[in-house]
Each structure stands twice: as structure tokens, then as C-alpha cells.
């Protein structure tokens, strides 16, 4: 009798654990699904407005609230495939920039009309945006690199700092450090 009660309680514990894990994984997947869904809809709508392929839009970054009807976005438009009749990335970027500046870049996400604007660049990012590659945007590392290059070029080379001991054999074949 005790064995049957223990077996039934063990089975009930496993059923409750299974349901708990299923509920938690469903909850986490739904938030990821919503973000991916908005991202995918945003890419397809941007491609529709610019009359380009969805595969050409990369590095999409957006912030804001869709329910308010405004989003700040940033993305890169890749060159079209060879032999494609689509417009070049420079022309597409100019069109996108003009639409964003005038507030005419209108897309539909989940049935809500949304106006897209550029993510504003402020401070040092705005100064270096034209000079740096869009894939390397870590300004802290760039600052350290610039500092190291300036010190390397400005400091004299002292020969005594670069002399190191070497290990050589003496007459009895013992290893002896030499300067």
C-alpha cells in the first residue's frame, strides 16, 4: 500500500514538473517570437517601401513603441546581386534618408501605421559615423588605439630597455645567462 502511494505521488510530481517547464518555455518563447515578428515585419515593410529585396536589409536596429506609431530605426542596405534590376544601395539609401527626414517613411506593423525616423547620432558617434566602418562601433577601443599609436610614435626608443638576457653554454656545457 505504501509503495503504491509513493509511486502515485512520484508520478504526480513528474507531471507537475513537466507542466511547469512547458509553461515557462512557452512564456519565454512568446516574447522572443514577438520581437522576431516585429523585426521580420519591419524588414519586409522597409523593403516594400524602398522597392528592394528583403535580403538586402542588414543590421536592423530599432527602438520605440509600435503602439505610439513612431519608431527610430537604423539599417544597412547591401548592394544588389549582379544582373539584378533593383536600384543600387546608394540610391536606396538616399531615398530612405529623404523619406525619414520628411516623416514620409510609413510602414504597417501588426495593422498599425508606423512612421520611421533615423536613430539620432549624438556626440562622438556623430563625428565618427562617417569615418568608421559600421561594423566597428566600439569607440572605447578606438580611443585606446589612437592613444597607443600617439605614444608609440612620440616616445624615443631606449636601447637599454630592449636588451634581454640570452642563455648560452659555457665551456663545461652549463647554461649561463649572457647580456
**Domain residue extents for the chain:** 2-120, 135-179
Query: What's the confidence (pLDDT) of residue 134?
Result: 46
Average pLDDT, the chain: 79
Among 59-63, 65-69, 112-116, 139-143, the least confident range? 139-143
Beta pairing partners, 175:
169
Q: What are the pLDDT digits (tens) for 45-81?
A: 999 999 998 888 988 888 888 888 888 998 988 888 8
DSSP code at position 112: E
Query: What's the confidence (pLDDT) of residue 84?
Result: 78
47, 53 in Cβ contact below 8 A? yes
Helix (H) or strand (E) holding 113: strand 112-118
Q: What are the pLDDT digits (tens) for 12-52?
A: 998 988 887 776 655 544 444 456 778 888 999 999 999 99
Please give the distance of CA 122 from its chain centroid, rounded to a whole number. 19
> Alpha helix (H) ranges present in 51-158?
89-102, 124-128, 139-154
DSSP code at position 8: H
pLDDT grade for 107, boundaries at 50, 70 and 90: very high
- What is the pLDDT averaged over residues 136-140? 64
Burial zone of 92 (CB within 10 Å; 0-12 exposed, 13-18 middle, 19+ buried): buried
Query: What's the confidence (pLDDT) of residue 8?
Result: 92
- What is the pLDDT averaged over residues 158-172? 78
pTM summary value: 0.52
Amino acid at each position: 500500500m505504501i509503495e503504491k502511494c509513493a509511486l502515485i505521488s512520484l508520478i504526480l510530481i513528474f507531471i507537475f514538473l513537466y507542466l511547469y517547464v512547458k509553461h515557462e518555455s512557452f512564456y519565454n518563447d512568446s516574447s522572443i517570437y514577438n520581437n522576431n515578428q516585429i523585426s521580420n515585419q519591419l524588414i519586409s515593410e522597409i523593403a516594400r517601401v524602398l522597392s528592394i529585396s528583403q535580403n538586402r536589409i542588414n543590421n536592423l536596429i530599432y527602438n520605440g513603441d509600435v503602439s505610439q506609431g513612431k519608431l527610430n530605426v537604423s539599417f544597412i542596405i547591401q548592394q544588389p546581386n549582379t544582373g539584378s534590376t533593383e536600384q543600387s544601395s546608394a540610391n536606396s539609401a538616399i531615398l530612405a534618408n529623404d523619406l525619414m527626414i520628411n516623416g514620409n517613411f510609413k510602414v504597417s506593423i501588426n495593422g498599425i501605421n508606423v512612421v520611421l525616423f533615423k536613430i539620432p547620432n549624438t556626440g562622438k558617434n556623430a563625428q565618427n559615423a562617417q569615418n568608421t566602418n559600421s561594423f566597428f562601433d566600439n569607440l572605447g577601443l578606438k580611443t585606446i588605439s589612437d592613444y597607443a599609436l600617439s605614444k608609440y610614435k612620440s616616445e624615443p626608443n631606449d636601447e637599454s630597455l630592449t636588451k634581454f638576457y640570452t642563455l648560452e653554454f659555457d665551456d663545461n656545457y652549463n647554461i649561463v645567462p649572457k647580456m
